[in-house]
Structure 1
Amino acid sequence: MFSEIDWMALPKTISPAATVFLCVCVLKASLISLLSMLFSYWTDFVLVWEEPLSSQEEERKGLGLTHKKWRMAFLNKLRDSGLCLQKEVLEVKTKICFVLLSAPWNVLCYYAEEITLRVPLQVNLNHTNWSARVLSRLSLPNPMSQDVPNPPLDFHTCQFRNNKLQRFLGSDNKEKFFKTTQRHQVLYEILARTPYGSVTRGEVGIDRLLSEQVFTAGYPLHEGGFNMPTPPVPLKSWDLREILYFYWATWSSWRHYQPLDHIREYFGEKIALYFAWLGFYTGWLLPASLVGTVVFLFGFWLMATDVPAKELCDSGNSFPMCSLCHICSDWNYSSICLTYKAGILFDNGGTVFFSVFMSLWAVTFLEYWKRTCLFLSHRWDCSEFQDIEERPRPEFTAMAPMTMKSPVTGAEEPYFPEKQRLNRTMTGCMVIILMVVVVLVFLMAIILYRSILTVFIYKSGGFLTGWAGRVASISSSVLNLIVILLLSRVYMSLAHILTRWEMHRTQSKYEDMFILKVFIFQFINFYSTPIYIAFFKGRFIGYPGNYQTLFGFRNEECGPGGCLIELAQELLVIMVGKQLINNTQEEVKEEGGEEERREDKQEEEQGDSPWEADYQLLVYEGLFSEYLEMVIQFGFITIFVAACPLAPLFALINNWVEIRLDAQKFVTEYRRPVAERAQDIGIWFPILQFISHIAVLTNAFLIAFTSSFLPRLYYGYTRDETLTGYINFTLATSPGNITATAASHTPCRYRSFRNADGDYLPEYFHLLAIQMAFVIVFEHVVFSIGLLIDLVVPDVPEEVELKMKREHYMAKQALAENQVPVQGPVTIPSGPPQSVSSPPDLKVIPEETSTSGSC
């Protein structure tokens, strides 16, 4: 505030009254700044609502009085629960009311035992991983490590017991005994179970009040700002948010490990596990990217040495080919020399090795993530966490048609009949099937678009005539990406509506069903076109004189370079295009939000109090979109990796960017979320396992039926191992009445294993048997090796198992009644305690709006 006074502009002589007034203003500003620091220090949670500046305007709103009644009842119940409340009002375009909540020590202790928080028994000094130990023994530096200040200590912990308080580490320091995130969890637990009306009607908890717009926001405060402190202070004095920004969210941290313990300390285990999984997945992409790049470069060497390619390029007019459409002209096979060579980059023996490698990579990656997840969940005290008594969702309590006595608590609770839910779920399944049909309709429309555009370019006779197929293919890939993104938006809204309509009682069940619906649809939406190109395109075309048609158009054939090069093109357009669009949208959204907040701050001329600053931030909406994006990407780099060895490299580059973008969002853009405990990544892990199993099958069929690997192997084994004459072997001759040109009587050639009458040759059936045998052997070998890895690699690391036994022993000793003599009887409170002491200078919140504070 002192910087806002132009001291040089003041007159040299000031009257006594002006001097007193100036001193009062300065003292008032200093007092406001001091109180802001004081309240931000002890505030655990903030509730916000907005009111019109005019009372007449508020009365015109039908729900205003009801909301006011609920709000005051809720705040009074919170005060009765022992919480401290302090009200702050900011008058701008509307009157924004902030209630700052804090829990006294006795309330924290009671609810910490209720929600089974874990507290420290002893410091665990053995905190290095195996890679750090190996590098230390070899005296080698680790270029990815960094010294992050103020690393959180690792403790042996056990569940909190109020009557065993003296046996816990740090129990003499009441201000720091519970971590900030644990205080937030306690406050949220109180807010979630506090009623404001009829319990039988589900009028309970902050979630319902937020959904009813009684409060506009509820959030814990960030710990200070994220910019570098000025003037500079020692690193040990930095706030955790500042550390996370400079050692995690900045672009200069791209090559370093994420400070996972700091992330967990600030955001909680659920968010920390997401970033741990994302970092682990990105790290495992590094070897996959290296192998894929080597395989791709190996394709360049094959381009120069491949015998069939040389034979094709030197064939001249030896292979006149049948036209690709009913108005297209005939062409010579040698004209596609460059395209054929480009196809070798994606269709060679190296891709077969890479498919096997990536199938085993996916199985091994998931197995080792299981181990890492167990290690982290134990280190973060979540290995035994279970959300036993999950509360009903606010929407469920508001819309449930009846109540029923709970078999657990014996109280009347909102209830929805299971038979009705099953009927609604079945209806939802029919809607999903309908949306899948819509996707397939769009797929057929894009196929027709490709055929029509090819014919149109040929008819135009312009300079693009020779590139008609390629132009149609690339433009249809871009159009398909646009359709995919539009359908994703439509179905996301539809999935929300369907899942809400199904009336699932708990939030976890709601999220699981929503994730399952979206994944099923997105799986079809994103992968239908690649599946069509890989396994169906060019399979049902017939032969010259007897072509198959769709709506009057001849069925599509694979391009001159084969289907694999088209599949690689489709994958790159969808995968890379989606990643670029998503990252661009995130950047634009964040820049737009930042600009809007700057404008609001200038217009409102608001102070710098932490609760006001955090209210301007974006609302945290969960991790669903982040997980979904990565799971779809995981599918692209595993299911169709035989067609695009560079897919893991593009995924690696994207994920390096994604980690920093997500870190910046959480540290600088989002309100601080309530810390949530979690053991693992939830339903996403079974989905990843499903994708890895599907990937084994699709890669087996890709190699067997789409690539030229087995036909080349068959020809080399039965005819000529140098592959001389392979091009002629793969081409069939058209029936006698079909010629290359109208003026010529020379039959044209087409790719198939048929005789002059259009019947299949014995080689076709021999090759088909080999292809089926290859699929069976491939998937059995890969699944067997995966099962062997699963058996050899234990789910629980030996180190973690030993620590768990040690921790159980210490917890048993600490909580044993006969371990330490206790004076007098030990009692556990039967209800929430009432606070008996108040923070200084706080007033009681009255029933109406002229409030100041209470405890």
Structure 2
Amino acid sequence: MMATRKTSGDGDSNLLVEDQEDGGSLDSQEWYSSHGPEEEDDKMNYFTDGKTQIDFVLVWETWRDLSCEQPYRKRQKYFECLEKFGLDMEEHSFQEKGDTLHFMLLSAPWPVLCYFAEEMSMRVPLQTSPAQFSPWLSQVLNKLSIPNMLQENVPKQPPETFTCPFKNSKLSRYPGSENHATFFTNTQRHQILYEILACAPYGNSRRGEVGMERLLCEKVLSAAYPLHDGTYAHTPGTPSEQLFLRQILFQYWARWSKWNKYQPLDHIRKYYGEKIALYFAWLGVYTGWLLPASLVGMFVFIMGFIVMINDIPTTEVCNSKGLYIMCPVCKICPNWNLSSVCAHYRAGVLVDQPGTLFFSIFMSIWAVTFLEYWKRFNAKLTYRWDCFQLHEIEEHPRPEFTVLAPLTIQNPITGIEEPYFPESRRLRRMLTGSMAILLMIAVVFMFLISIILYRVIICLLVAKSGNESLVSSARRIASITGSVVNLCCILVLSKVYISLALLLTRWEMHRTQTAYEDALTFKVFLFQFVNYYSTPIYIAFFKGRFVGYPGHYNTLFRIRNEDCDPGGCLIELAQEMLVIMVGKQILNNITEFVIPKVQLWWLNRRLSKVKTEENPWERDYKLIRCNGLFDEYLEMVIQFGFITIFVAACPLAPFFALLNNWIEVRLDAQKFVCEYRRPVAERARGIGIWMSILEVITCIAVVSNAFLVAFTSDFLPRTYYQYFVNGDLTGYINFTLAKSPAHYTENHTLCRYRAFRDSDGNLTLDYWNLMAIRLAFVIVFEHVVFLLARMIDFMVPDIPESVEIKVKRENFLAKQALAENESLAHFLGVNTSLVLRSRHDPSMGFASMQNFTGEQHTM
């Protein structure tokens, strides 16, 4: 059984805006015929009258065992408040045997849209022009008359617009303003409804009983979402002109067969907003830049095989037989022959070879160049999408902050009274929260020490087994199993900390959504940096450094400190990277593929007991709520850290990242198009604080690679021996092995161990010479790379000069467009087309536009 209820605004909406001449309402057929297929929406996304467009849907469930009077009263008060805002409302209920599912359809009338559009400084077009943007590769290939295999013609290309903030008093100046049904886009209508729903109270405002998000947390509402534009599937053979925008995104973006095509960024922006579109733009650019890094990494790795075959020290190790008797790894362990680790030593040469230095420098420069390119590409995108000055003129306080802030203060720029939270109180809360962060970081170090002890104990147990093949692989077995255990600990700690970080960030009361997200991002990344990178940092820079020597071994909890693998610490670091980075990527991809489908199955199964009709609002309710892009960014930034900070140990890391990102783009696209409810579009100027984090990671990567090559790799000891000791690498193994002191009587035999010490255990002159060379190398490496980075940064401006000029010019013309003088408005009508042409014609600079306007004044 279905019951419906229709309510509308009671007239209070007339107080929101000036009286406007009614433009009339079009029925569905008239709207489609007049507006054209480019803005066509799902024909079912309307009230039962077929004319009132559905802008938002609220859902609640009243099962027999969960019915309660208090949620009912809160909902009624909330709906009464929405009616006072002037919203049109229509309720649909589906019931069977006492179990009821309710849908409240919401629509904002024209006066309400106008009022909130002005309050939100919503940008509307003054003039449109067909989009003519194309990637730089397409431009180069077109000049060379070479077809671009990545390019694809996507139908219904959104036009490029010249926009300005909406002013209700200047309504007649905007083209298309006479058609109230289509003047504001779907995403703009969603944004307006979200603003209303987030600010509408349902109880005592001082207790925070305000807004849709609070009702969702209290389970008074089950869901709140805007509707998708139809289904993503379409009938085969349907002309592209008749496809909905969601169907276009599925057909030309979300399908696996489109892995080698450009993403339709303008279509993504039109449907999901700038924030989501910029994420996919950044992910696409990052994935594209991984291709050259992967090719160079594979070349270096292949070169490692050639070096390994002809490597003199490797041959010495494998042919040593019983020449080098090595000291035992524990008191009760036997001595062992160096030749037994021949395979391990060969594997170490694959990553520890001369190409390591070249690849470290290459990846450091690659990271800097990639970020500079993204800054410029981001500036061009935000200019095209009218977000270039977003933070300066448009960002408003968060609805939650507006409600819970205890004070108000006059905005020095706008002169408007705004909610205010004292900065001193926020700082005190942030300091208190930092104590929780430090506590969680301490927990990470406790787990790190536990993993170290675990590896030592496993190594001892394997070494005591008596099996010669197992004894020679004791360190490798302990290292691999320790990496798997470490990955499990990392994933568990991540889930716990993210929940804590969300709670602390809400408590800090940040004014804007950007400030809130930046604070949350900083907290989570600081912890995740320690969580994910602590073990690789330990292996790269600390493991094997504090072992001691026979007769004077250092201990941790009475257990001898662990030493590096016979093949070197670099091969262990490569293994740790592959287990953590690749293992995490595989688990994430499986999770992103399986969990949404399980959630969809469970939600549909739970709702199967209620007989419903296949309406758009019910169809979208059976989808999953989108929780934003935080997890997506975090995953990619952690990956970026692995392939830059520790890339010297694993040249194949960029290749594995490239494979993952090709899959990640399509998985994320399918989630948004097919499995998620439509999120409310958000505007953004860039990727936010993630950009600053990437820059910090790049600087850390330069320092890290310098120390990896200098202290962890064998590159400098080999070079020192070859050029200052012997002339070639013959005898290098004997050079690096010290003899146990004469008074060392453990196991009653003399043995060898890896160190630059004399027979008394004292450091030799070669050790101090190498230390000086290593420190000098670090200084030279850092200065050269940072100098090159600064030169790139200086020569390549973050914002193209043409974009800066066009932004200033458009700001001037926007003021002209809204002037009272009709002659100026006519003057603008000529010049806006000039601005739009200047977007696509780099040769048309500021001077040429000045000349043009001067000619117009003389006419």
Q: Which residue identity lines up with residue 763 of structure 2 in the other structure?
A: Y
Quick check: 1:84–1:104 contact (8 Å CA) kept in 2?
Answer: yes
Q: Secondary structure at the match of 2:155?
A: coil
Other-structure match for 2:789: 786
- Partner of residue 543, structure 1: 549
AA aligned to 1:76 is E
Match of 2:294 in 1: 289
Is this contact kept in 2: 1:122–1:169, CA < 8 A?
A: no
CA distance in 1, matches of 2:794, 2:402: 46
Taking a change above 3 Å as real, the CA distance of residues 431 and 35 of structure 1, as seen in their structure-2 partners, is: closer
TM-score in terms of structure 2 length: 0.86
The one of 356, 366, 372 aligned to 2:377: 372
Pair 1:751 & 2:754 matched: yes
After superposition, where does 1:209-288 map in structure 2 within 5 Å?
Answer: 209-229=215-235, 232-288=237-293
The equivalent position to 1:489 in structure 2, one of 488, 492, 495, is 495
Q: How far does residue 65 in structure 1 lie from its aligned partner after superposition?
A: 5.0
Deviation at 1:389, TM superposition (A): 7.3
Q: 1:471-501 deviations in whole A, cap 9, x for unaligned?
A: 1111111011111111111111222232233
- Out of 63, 76, 81, the residue aligned to residue 83 of structure 2 is 76
- 1:175, CA displacement in angstroms? 3.2
For the 8 Å contact 2:294–2:652, the answer to whether it is kept is yes
Equivalent residue, structure 2, for 1:814: 817
For the 8 Å contact 2:205–2:403, the answer to whether it is kept is no
**Could you tell me the TM-score, scaled by structure 1's length?**
0.86
* Deviation of the 1:599 alpha carbon: 2.5
Q: Does 1:48 align with 2:54?
A: no
Query: Compared with structure 1, are the counterparts of its residues 280 and 821 closer, same or farther at alpha carbon in structure 2 (3 Å cutoff)?
Result: closer
CA distance in 1, matches of 2:222, 2:324: 73
Distance 1:545 1:156 in 2: 78
Aligned positions of 1:32-43 closer than 5 A = 42-43=52-53
Q: Is the 8 A contact 2:57 2:617 kept in 1?
A: no
Secondary structure of the residue aligned to 1:460 is: coil
Shift of 1:550: 1.1
Superposed, 1:446-465 pairs within 5 Å as 446-462=451-467, 464-465=470-471
Unaligned runs of at least 5 residues, structure 2: 1-41, 827-859
Aligned counterpart for 1:155 among listed residues 144, 151, 161: 161
Deviations 1:403-459 (A, max 9, x none): 456667999987655444333322221222221121111111111111111111222
CA distance in 2, matches of 1:125, 1:608: 37
Structure 1 residues 398 and 386: alpha-carbon distance in aligned structure 2, compared to 1, 3 A threshold: closer
Instruction: Note if contact 1:299-1:346 (Cα within 8 Å) is conserved in structure 2.
Output: yes
Q: Distance in 1 between matches of 2:57 and 2:122?
A: 24
Q: Decide whether aligned partners of structure 1 residues 821 and 624 sit closer, same or farther in structure 2, where only a CA change above 3 A counts.
A: closer
Indicate the RMSD between aligned Cα atoms, in angstroms: 2.6
Residues 694-773 of structure 1 mapped to structure 2, 5 A cutoff:
694-738=700-744, 742=748, 747-773=750-776
Note the 1:349-428 alignment, pairs <5 A: 349-386=354-391, 402-403=406-407, 417-428=422-433
Closer/same/farther in 2, CA of residues 297 and 648 from structure 1, 3 Å limit: same
Corresponding position of 2:601: 595
Following superposition, the deviation at residue 242 of structure 1 comes to 0.6
Residue 467 of structure 1 corresponds to 473
Identity of aligned residues (%): 56
Assess, with a 3 A threshold, how the Cα gap between structure 1 residues 316 and 780 changes in structure 2: closer, same or farther.
same
Gapped runs of 5+ residues in structure 1? 1-32, 824-855
Residue 191 of structure 1 is matched in structure 2 by 197
3-state SS of the aligned residue for 1:157?
A: strand
1:157-185 deviation line (CA, Å, top 9, x unaligned): 22233344444344454433322212212
- The answer as to 2:645 corresponding to 1:639 is yes
Structure 2 residue 653 is matched with structure 1 residue 666 = no
1: CA distance, partners of 2:824 / 2:421: 51
CA 1:560–1:765 in 2, change beyond 3 Å: closer, same or farther? same
**SS state of the match for residue 281, structure 1?**
helix
| Distance 1:445-1:497 versus aligned 2 partners, 3 A rule | same
| Deviation, structure 1 residue 366 | 0.8
How far did 1:100 drift?
A: 1.8
Deviation at 1:134, TM superposition (A): 1.3
SS in 1 for 2:279: helix
Counterpart position of 2:834: none
| C-alpha distance in structure 1 between counterparts of 2:709 and 2:605, whole Å | 57
The whole-number CA distance in structure 1 between the counterparts of 2:66 and 2:787 is: 71
Match of 2:575 in 1: 569
Residue 312 of structure 1 and its aligned partner are, at CA, apart by 2.3
Equivalent position to 1:91, from 83, 91, 95? 95
Q: How many angstroms does 1:740 deviate by?
A: 8.9
789-798 or 505-514: bigger deviation: 505-514
8 Å Cα contact 2:817/2:825 also seen in 1: no
Q: Does 1:339 align with 2:344?
A: yes
Aligned pairs for 1:131-210 within 5 A: 131-197=137-203, 199=205, 202-210=208-216
What are the Cα deviations for residues 557-585 of structure 1, in whole angstroms up to 9, with x where unaligned?
10111100000000000001111111111
Instruction: Note if 1:119 corresponds to 2:129.
Output: no
**Greater relative contact order structure (CA < 8 Å, 6+ sep):** 1
Alignment check: 8 A CA contact 2:100 2:610 kept:
no
Change (3 A) 1:68 1:109: closer
Contact 1:44 1:184 in 2 (8 A): no
Shift of 1:386: 2.4
Are the aligned partners of 1:731 and 1:749 in contact in 2 as well (CA < 8 Å)? yes
Would the aligned equivalents of 2:600 and 2:622 in 1 still touch at CA under 8 Å? no
Secondary structure, aligned partner of 2:380: helix
Q: Which secondary structure does the structure 2 equivalent of 1:759 belong to?
A: coil
Contact 2:819/2:825 (CA < 8 Å) preserved in 1?
no
Change in Cα spacing, 1:42 to 1:254, as seen in structure 2 (3 Å) is: farther
Q: Supply the distance in 1 between the matched residues of 2:825 and 2:267 (Cα, whole angstroms).
A: 37
The 3 A distance-change label for structure 1 pair 210 and 398 is farther
Q: Distance in 2 between matches of 1:477 and 1:543?
A: 27
Q: Secondary structure at the match of 1:227?
A: coil
Which amino acid is 1:719 matched to?
V
Who is 1:20 aligned against? none
Name the amino acid aligned to 1:548: N
2:697 to 685, 691, 715: 691
| Mean CA deviation greater in 595-604 or 492-501 | 595-604
8 Å Cα contact 2:206-2:404 kept in structure 1: no
CA distance in 2, matches of 1:670, 1:758: 65
1:524-546: per-residue Cα shift (whole Å, max 9, x none)? Answer: 11000000000000001111111
Q: 1:592 and 1:679 mapped to 2: Cα distance?
A: 35
CA contact (8 A) 2:199 2:403 kept: no
In the TM superposition, 1:604-683 aligns within 5 A as 604-683=610-689
The 3-state SS of whatever aligns with 1:719 is: helix
User: Structure 1 residues 256-265 or 97-106, which shifts more?
Assistant: 97-106
Structure 2 CA distance for aligned equivalents of residues 342 and 715 of structure 1? 21
